[in-house]
Each structure stands twice: as C-alpha cells, then as structure tokens.
Amino acid sequence: MSITTLADKINDANAKGRTALIPFLPGGYPNKESFWKEILELDANGADIIEIGMPFSDPVADGPVVEAASMKCLADGVNLKWIIEGLAKVRSQINAGIVLMGYYNPVLQYGLEKFAKDANGAGINGLIIADLPYEEGLEFRDLLAANEVALVPLVGLNTEPERMKLYADGGNGFCYFVSVLGTTGDRDSLPEEIKVGLKHAKDIFDIPVALGFGLKHPSQLEQLEGLVDAAVFGSALIRHIDDGKSCAEFMKVWT
C-alpha cells in the first residue's frame, strides 16, 4: 500500500482516455448481508476507487437519499468497527482503491491512532472527513500519512484559491471538489460557476481532481472536459439499488 495509490488509480484511468469512476455506498447498504457483494460487484465493473460511507447520526453534508440510507445502516447496527473488520476480510479481492467518507466524530470516538493503524491494516487508502477544517486536521493528516493513508482535501465553489493552496500543500490522494453549495444528491444540471472553481483546483493541486455531489449521468461531464479527472456518484447509485437493479447494470452507463 502507498500514499499515492489513489492518485495512481485515477492517473491510470486518465492515461487510458477515460474519467476515473468513484461510486459511493454507505457501509452496510442495502443490508449487512449483501453489502460486500455490492462492493465486489462495483470493483468488477469498472470502479477505480470505491467510497464507503461511515454512517453517522448527524450527517450535515448528506442529502435525503444518502441520509436515509445511512440512517438505515445505523439502525441495522453498522459502525466503523464493522466496516473496518469486514473490509479486512475481503480487501485482497478488491482491485480498486478504497476511501472511507464521513464525519469526524465516529473517527474520534474510535481513536485517531487506532484508526490510522487499523485503516492501514484493512487496506484503506484514504479518508474524507466532511466536517474537519484544514486548521484542525493537520496533525491527523500527518498521522494518517505515516500509516500510508491519505486525508483527501475537500474544496468547493466557495473555496478561495488562497485557501486551496493551503489544502494543496501536503495534500494526498486526490482533491475532492464539491459541485454545489448544498448537500449530496444528484441534479439535472451543474452550476455555471463550477468551471471557474475547477480550473482553480486544477491549477493549484498537483494531485488529480475529482468532482462529486450532484452527478447522476456521464453527460454532465461533457461541458467540463479537461477539468475533471474522476467522477463521484452516490445518490443515483443508491436509488438504482433501491429499484432492485444491480451495481453492474448501473456501472455500464459510466464505462
């Protein structure tokens, strides 16, 4: 495992002439029995990196679809320990990079040093924390890096270039660019100002730039050619599964 694994996965996809694909599923969704089967299916059908959500009771960045899915997982008894222990058992079968995404509280409760060590042991390549500001995350970023786990920088439409430069200095994995000023959830269109923000990110970061929040179809990326190295999609995938359809079928649209 290497701190550059996530960037390497995206760069490899780009070298083949395509945008890297990063599907998101909350840990334990649609249920604990089939969750790892869904992850293996995403991996076998074109996922370059897979984001696993860490269900949390106060998901301030999640839209209604992801929030409802996360609440169901919590009700089913899913927690961070269950995700890490389960991943450790199947990681050798997964070729994609693995990122956990969520909020700081569950990680803090787990124990920062224990999390960094266990994440490395389970083959987790990166972590996205939606509510951890740059200034409060530096020490944890270094702790994760010492365990070959990247703390992925999260920026958005309201992140000024000067602040992006702070995140870029020592940033690992990829830059996660949030497409909207709002919560997760697929949209029919993306805001026009996104091109300016993405161009700033591409100019400032020396790691790949991934676009998330709002994506439901690859056609949305046509207007952003050259500005997006990887696409993240969650709500559309969750709805697809809720309709009784397979992850393989969903990924066909993107590959």
Catalytic one among 38, 62, 67, 148?
62
First-to-final CA distance of the chain = 26
* pLDDT single digits (tens) 82-104: 999 999 999 999 999 999 999 99
Local confidence band at 222 (pLDDT 50, 70, 90 cut-offs): confident
Residue 142: active-site member: no
pTM comes to 0.93
* pLDDT single digits (tens) 143-174: 999 999 999 999 988 899 999 999 999 889 99
pLDDT at 59: 73
Residue 51: active-site member: yes
Catalytic one among 41, 48, 51, 186?
51
Q: Are 177 and 210 in contact (CB under 8 A)?
A: yes
pLDDT at 179: 78
CA distances for 99 relative to 173, 183, 207, angstroms: 10, 19, 16
Question: Which candidate, 155, 253, 252, places its Cα nearest to that of 209?
Answer: 155
Local confidence band at 61 (pLDDT 50, 70, 90 cut-offs): low
